[in-house]
Amino acid sequence: MSKHTVKTIQEMRNNNDIITMLTAYDYPTAKKINDAGIDMILVGDSCAMVVHGHPNTLTATMEMMVLHCAAVARACDRTMVVADMPFGSFQYSIEDTMKNAARFVTEAKVDAVKFEATHNHIAKTKAVVEMGIACVGHVGLHPQAVGALGGLKAQGRDVASARKVVSEALALQDAGVFAIIFEAVPTKLSDYVTRKLDIPTISIGGGPKCSGQLLVTPDVLGMYDNFTPSFAKQYANVGQVMTDAFTQYAKEVKSGAFPDDTYSYGMSDKVLESVIKEFGPVS
Ligand code: KIV
């Protein structure tokens, strides 16, 4: 199958074919996701937490993101790759935003960029769309606003917050984004907006009524337990598999069981004899 485009993603939504999306930050994981037939990858700024060990996403930089995005993009011949615009990359000016979005497509070769765009950022989003770069919006919980929100909390549960989610989603659609991520919002709200919009909606903690579903891959694999949102389902315990493998390796190295002949290079006695002749025996 050829690579997903904004057109094929829109067709999936139109045909009620649920879109699958996961995060990835490195080549081998992205390759497995691509080969598993997942439709979209987000190289999220969550990498600041789940890869770099920071307490929140605010420390993700353009340099960090471009590097991770380039590795992921090299692995994907089918899955569409979306770069997350990190904090500070789109908050200052339209010009900065355009330059940073361009870096993702020219240096990292991703297929699209995503913004945690509020009403303040609609003009910037539109400017990037008008450059010809495919854009994804993100409403509901904005982890980059963790300080102002007082934590990573569900959004859209009271009237003001629900209206904000709906009006931002409508404004983003008008600005030309081709899809919108709904993070940590009630199912009734994402269902309402999904039916109101003409473009795909993708849920991460937004319930089952969206056009697609997204999870953070280290949550899916049981590889990150510093913070696990209530909507994150774990599908495997790769973290435990890794711990078991590392423990077994250490045991075998300490006991001398590894490496045995299978994992060592051989050499003829003649070669060793000539070395000893030249350099003398070990005293
Ligand atoms: O950085 C990320 O992984 C994200 C998702 C949580 C939507 O922005």
What is the pLDDT of the chain when averaged over all its residues? 97
Q: 71 lies in which domain range? A: 6-236
Pair 32, 69 in one domain: yes
Q: Quick one: how far is CA 197 from the chain centroid?
A: 24
3-state DSSP percent of the chain in helix, strand and coil, to 5: 50, 15, 40
Q: Which atom, in ligand 1's list, is nearest to the CA of 46?
A: 1
Residue located nearest, by CA, to atom 1 of ligand 1: 44
Q: Which residues make Cβ contacts (< 8 Å) with residue 209, sequence separation at least 6?
A: 187, 190, 191, 194, 203
Q: How confident is the model at residue 270 (pLDDT cuts 50, 70, 90)?
A: very high
For residue 23, give the ligand 1 atom closest to its CA.
Answer: 3
* Mean pLDDT of the 23-31 span: 98
Residues 15 and 117 in one domain: yes
- 169 plus 251 within the same structural domain: no
Closest approach atom of ligand 1 to CA 116: 8
Please name the residue that has the structure tokens 């250490």. 250
Q: What's the mean pLDDT in 39-50?
A: 98
- Please check whether residue 213 lies inside any domain of the structure: yes
DSSP 8-state code for residue 108: S
| Residues 72 and 174 placed together within one structural domain of the fold | yes
Mean pLDDT value across residues 269-277: 98
Any domain includes 1: no
Of the chain, the end-to-end C-alpha distance in Å amounts to: 65
- Residue 232 sits in the same domain as residue 254: no
Domain count, the chain: 2
- Look up the CATH number of the domain holding residue 163: 3.20.20.60
| Domain match, 224 and 97 both | yes
Instruction: Provide the 8-state DSSP code for 113.
Output: E
73 plus 188 within the same structural domain: yes
pLDDT at position 117 is: 87
Instruction: Indicate the pTM of the whole model.
Output: 0.96
- Cis preceding linkage at 259, omega within 30: yes
In a domain, 275, yes or no: yes
> With 90 as the cut, is the pLDDT of residue 1 above it?
no
Instruction: Kindly give the pairing relationship between strand 40-43 and strand 19-23.
Output: parallel
How far is the C-alpha of 234 from the C-alpha of 220, rounded, in Å?
4
CA of 138 to the centre of ligand 1 (A): 9
The answer to whether residues 15 and 148 belong to one domain is yes
Are 61 and 51 in contact by the 8 Å Cβ rule? The answer is: no
Q: What residue ranges line ligand 1, CB within 6 angstroms?
A: 23, 42, 44-46, 57, 84, 181, 183, 204, 216
pLDDT in tens, 193-239: 999 999 999 999 999 999 999 999 999 999 999 999 999 999 999 99
Q: Would you say 23 and 44 are in contact if contact means Cβ atoms under 8 Å apart?
A: yes
90 assigned to some structural domain: yes
Out of 54, 136, 144, 204, mutate this one to test ligand 1's pocket (max ligand atoms within 8 Å of CB): namely 204
Q: How far is the CA of 47 from the centre of ligand 1 (A)?
A: 9
Do 204 and 84 share a structural domain? yes
Atom 5, ligand 1: residue with shortest CA distance: 44
Q: In the chain, at which residue ranges do the beta strands (DSSP E only) sit? A: 19-23, 40-43, 80-84, 112-114, 134-140, 179-183, 201-204, 212-215
Return the residue matching tokens 């937004």: 206
The percent of residues above 90 in pLDDT, for the chain, comes to 99
62 lies in the same domain as 179 = yes
pLDDT of residue 244: 98
User: Are the C-beta atoms of 121 and 175 separated by less than 8 Å?
Assistant: no
114 C-alpha vs ligand 1 centroid, how far in Å?
A: 9
User: pLDDT (tens digit, 9 = 90+) per residue, 118-174?
Assistant: 999 999 999 999 999 999 999 999 999 999 999 999 999 999 999 999 999 999 999
Task: State the distance from the centre of ligand 1 to the C-alpha of 82, rounded, in angstroms.
Answer: 11
- Strands (E) across 133-244 are located at 134-140, 179-183, 201-204, 212-215
CA of 255 to the centre of ligand 1 (A): 44
Q: CA separation (Å) from 66 to 59, 82, 85, 107, 109?
A: 14, 11, 10, 7, 9
Segment (H or E) for 56: none
Q: What's the pLDDT score for residue 119?
A: 92
Residues carrying an active site annotation: 183
Q: What are phi and psi of 178, to 5 degrees?
A: -100, -10
Hey, whose CA ends up nearest to atom 8 of ligand 1?
A: 44
